[in-house]
Chain A
Amino acid sequence: MKFVMDVIKENGLEIDLVYSGTARIQLGAIIPYLYFHNLISGEFILTIVNGLDEVFVKQFNYLDIKNGKTEDYIHVYHPIVCPYPVPIENGSYTIGIYPVSGYEPTGNNFLGWIKQHEDIQVPMSYGTLSDAKNPYTIRFKEYSRIHS
């Protein structure tokens, strides 16, 4: 299989999303689709920002992504679980992944964020779109009430 990704460098990578629902939701997890290329160190943060307001931030490291696997090349939907429900309401948000410390990307060691056209979170485009211009892939899990 082939996939297209951008290497996460010193300034990180971001995606802008709009939540257009009328009801407020409670996020339980944010799940970016990442590519782990022989990474040997690195602390990262994922943030959700609404304008100037930081809605959510959580730190994770390369071992969290590797999750006990012995292989050094991994593509994975890496869940970043919210320790508390994160309220999201109608509006525009920027989700970013940034290196914090211990990360120096080289040709042999880096973390990437995979792009997909058929991403359920992002509206399809019926026009021709270069693979390199597809959005970064991300999933969300929300809390919902179980009705008995």
Chain B
Amino acid sequence: MTRIVNFSDSFVAATEPSLEGLDQENYTIQNNASDVVLFTIDNSVYNSAFFNFEIIRLDISNTYMETGHFQLLFHDGSWKFAKGISAGHEIISDVIDNPFNVVMSLTTSMGVGSLKYSSGNMGSGYTGTFKISITRIVA
């Protein structure tokens, strides 16, 4: 994960420097998976996060199943998928459906959001990858 660190003009700091930049993680998608955790985010550390993602099917020559972006927002005590802000925010839900029965969902426990996925039966030869790029706003 590559990050940019904003540090004071010193070699040491007692308080946490702000971190920015992109984290990219690649996750293997299993066939017939159920609520597998991809990523967790703690509301005591982060207020929101912006995701770019690609879901790629590797067994059919890198076919994109879905590309997109979404925001995660800690709202009313739980993490939700949120649309981009214009005037006020609009909460979508806690589930995003993608092709081939790959469903992303969010659950929250004690302020920690878990981004999970479930997948349908895409065949025994199936292999796939989630690529997620994240920018987070520090609490």
C-alpha spacing A71/B46, complex, angstroms: 22
A3 pairs with B45, CB closer than 8 A: no
Residue count of chain B within 8 Å CB distance of chain A? 22
B1-48 with Cβ < 8 A to chain A: 1-9, 11-17, 21-22, 42, 45-46
**Chain A interface size range:** 20 to 34
Tell me the complex Cα distance, A120–B12, Å.
23
Q: Which residues of the partner chain B approach A7 to less than 8 Å between Cβ atoms?
A: 1, 3
Of the candidate stretches A22-30, A47-55, A73-81, A90-98, the one touching chain B is: A73-81
Chain B at the A interface: SS class: loop
> A35, A38, A73 — which one has the most chain B CB atoms within 10 A of its CB?
A73
A-B contact pairs, 29 of them (CB 8 A): A1-B7, A2-B4, A2-B6, A2-B7, A4-B3, A4-B4, A4-B5, A4-B21, A5-B2, A5-B3, A6-B2, A7-B3, A9-B1, A35-B5, A37-B16, A38-B16, A71-B12, A71-B14, A72-B14, A73-B7, A73-B14, A73-B17, A75-B11, A107-B45, A107-B46, A108-B16, A112-B3, A132-B21, A132-B22
